[in-house]
Amino acid sequence: MLQNLIITILTSSGIIGIFTQFLLNRLKSAEQKQQALERGVQALLRDRLIDQYEKYKSLGFAPIYAKENFENLYEQYHRLGANGVMDSIHEEFKNFPSGGEIS
């Protein structure tokens, strides 16, 4: 009887341990995927910001709609924790003239 009880306890704790390890592995995998998604989105946002910056810098102005779009992209990029060079690009872009005619 005691032997059966011990076997039952060891077996159930073994199953619980295996199940717990399985859950921990799944959580770690989900966290790694989430991090990869965030970094991928961050890279895409950075690419778009730089592309828009270069485009409108060469034109010498940025229409209001482009400034609004840039601001939205930058806000999402910034929320993902990225700063550095993009902060200065953001400041420069905000100061582009808002003209509409290309000479």
Q: What is the pLDDT of residues 64-97, one digit of tens each?
A: 999 999 999 999 999 998 667 899 999 999 999 9
* Residue range 1-15, pLDDT digits in tens: 777 766 666 666 677
Cα–Cα distance, 48 to 76 (Å, whole number): 12
Cα–Cα distance, 83 to 17 (Å, whole number): 42
Predicted TM-score (pTM) of this structure: 0.72
Radius of gyration of the chain (CA): 26
